[in-house]
Amino acid sequence: MNEDKTRVLLVDDEEDFRNTLSKRLKERGYEVHTAGSGSAALAILDTVPLDVVVLDIRMPGMSGIETLGEIRAKHLGVEVLLLTGHADVPSAVEGMRLGAFDYMMKPYEFEGLLGKINEATTVKRDREERIRKAEERAQLDKVQKTSWF
């Protein structure tokens, strides 16, 4: 795994859409995983560290909103972009309430989607860096306090 590559999970029940978008993202240098359902996406998230999930809302079985709820419960650091061909206000509100990075409608311009994926990756990596620095400061503070006595 290349640490610099953005790691993306595409979750959509439309296989052609998933495969086409996956191919285009790989051509741009992204590490791409795909899932055809919410439960398959959660299984991948349990085993593969990812930066961004591009998640369809309407899927058979577990919906995108239900999947987003599970992602937030188990994988808090992953950013999620909701992408739907059936936009409605209740799903947009619920998705943002659950912490989606953004809510987009299909068809979505590829370059615009790349911009959103990059923006979400930057937010995730900046947050991880702040956490890492805070942990280092906490360890240094602990060492200083113990060395004074």
Residue type for position 86: H
State yes or no: pLDDT of 53 exceeds 90: yes
- Average pLDDT value for the chain: 93
Question: pTM for this one?
Answer: 0.88
Task: Look at the block and give the residue holding tokens 């899932």.
Answer: 35
Could you read off the pLDDT of 63-89 as tens digits, one per residue?
999 999 999 999 989 999 999 888 788
Structural domain boundaries in the chain: 7-147
Bridge partners of 53? 9, 80
Architecture of domain 7-147: 3-Layer(aba) Sandwich (3.40)
Residue found by looking up tokens 């790691």 in the block: 7
